[in-house]
Structure 1
C-alpha cells in the first residue's frame, strides 16, 4: 500500500493502481478511526488501526494496519497526520453552522443549541451544556459525564463517532458558550 499525504489532501492505493483513492481535506464528510491495543495472555502484542475516509461525493476508503512491538503500521502514521488536517478543514463550516443554531450529528451524539443529545426513541437523552462536565476519550470510547453524577451519562465507541477531533473541539466550544 502506498499512502501520500499532502498539505491539502492525500492519495491511497497500491503502487501500480491506475486509479488510487484521492481526497482533499475539505471534501471529507466523515473520518472514523478505531485503535485497538491487542494483548494475548496479558502480554502486549501490538495495535490494530482502522480508518475510514468518506467523501462528500459518496466515495469512501477503508485503511487497516497492524503494528507490532518491532514494526509500526503506516496506517497509524496516516491517522495521526490526516486527522487534525481534516478537522481543521471541517471546523470553520461546523462552527458557523453551530452559531446559526443548526444541529450537528456525530454518530450517536448530536450537538444542538443549548443541549447535547444521544439515542433515539425511548433511549433518547438530552443534557444541557451547563450540565456537561466533560467529554473524554478513554480506552476506545467517547464518554460524556454529567455534573454531580457518578459514572457516565453516555458512552460510544470511537469508531461510531465520525470526525472525533472536530466533535471534541465543538463540545469545548459549546461548553464555553461559543
Structure 2
C-alpha cells in the first residue's frame, strides 16, 4: 500500500494506541480531503455576501456547514487515517475520538456510490464501516485518496483472516457473511441452499453481489454489497470452493 504522504513520526497518542493494539508497522497515512481553490473561494464569497446581507444566516452557515470541513477548521484538518500492518487508526470524521481496529478481528462493510449527472459519471464515494467488539468507525471520502485506502483495507482483511476462515470452514463451521452463509454443504441465502457443485461465478455490479447457478444466465441469489462483511474474504472463499 503506497503512502499518500511521507510517513512522518506518529503523534504520541496514536503511537501509544498502535502499540496497545499491536498494529505493527505503519504502512500509509491519509489526510482529510480539501477543496480546490475555486470551490474554497466560492464558499468565502458566499460567506461574505451572507455577512453583508444577513448576519445571523452567515453565522449559521459558517458553524453548521463550513466548520465541518478541514479547510475551515484546524481540528478537522489535523485528523488522520493511519493504516498499519495489522490494523488501522482513524480519527472520527464528526466529533472527537480516535478508534483503533485490528484486521484479524474486524467485520468490514463497504459501500461505493457513483452519481451520474447529465450522463457524466461523477466521483465514486466510498464508505467503509469497520466493526470490532467494543469499537466501530466509519471512514468516508472525508479522507483523500479513497480509491487507495478502501481496497487496501479489503486486501488487509483478506490477508489477516483468509487462512483462519478457511480453517473454520474445513472444520465444519457455518461462516456468516451477512445475507449469505458458507459451509461445506454450499451457499445459503434466505434458508435456500445451493450446493458447491452447482455454484457458478459471483458477479459484482450496481452495488450488488450476485451468485450465479451453474448453467443458468440469471442469478440464483443477490444481495447489496454493503451488506456483505469482509467482501473480499467472501469472494475468495466462493472462488476457491465453487464448481467452475
Same fold judged by TM-score > 0.5?
A: yes
Provide the residue aligned with 1:69 in structure 2. Answer: none
Tell me if structure 1 keeps the 8 A contact 2:198–2:242.
no
Provide the residue aligned with 1:6 in structure 2. Answer: 84
Q: Which of 207, 223, 229 is the matching residue for 1:156? A: 223
The unaligned stretches of length 5 or more in structure 1 are: 67-71
The 5 A counterparts of 1:53-68 are: 53-55=130-132, 57-65=133-141
Tell me if structure 2 keeps the 8 A contact 1:65–1:76.
no
Deviation at 1:42, TM superposition (A): 1.4
The unaligned stretches of length 5 or more in structure 2 are: 1-78
For the residues of structure 1 that align with 2:241 and 2:92, how far apart are their CA atoms?
42
Tell me if structure 2 keeps the 8 A contact 1:117–1:127.
yes
Provide the residue aligned with 1:114 in structure 2. Answer: 185
- Three-state SS of the structure 1 residue aligned to 2:150 is helix
**TM-score scaled by length of structure 1:** 0.84
| Residues 1:165 and 2:232 aligned together | yes
Deviates more, 1:134-143 or 1:157-166: 134-143
Runs of 4+ in 1 over 3 A off after TM superposition: 72-76
Structure of greater Rg: 2
| Residues 1:91 and 2:162 aligned together | yes
For the residues of structure 1 that align with 2:202 and 2:141, how far apart are their CA atoms?
27
Q: Which has the higher helix share?
A: 2
| Cα deviations by residue, 1:106-159 (Å, 9 ceiling, x for unpaired) | 01000021211101xxxx211110101111212211111111223110111110
Q: Which of 92, 105, 120 is the matching residue for 1:43? A: 120
Deviation at 1:14, TM superposition (A): 5.9
- Three-state SS of the structure 1 residue aligned to 2:134 is coil
**TM-score scaled by length of structure 2:** 0.62
* Aligned residues between the structures: 165
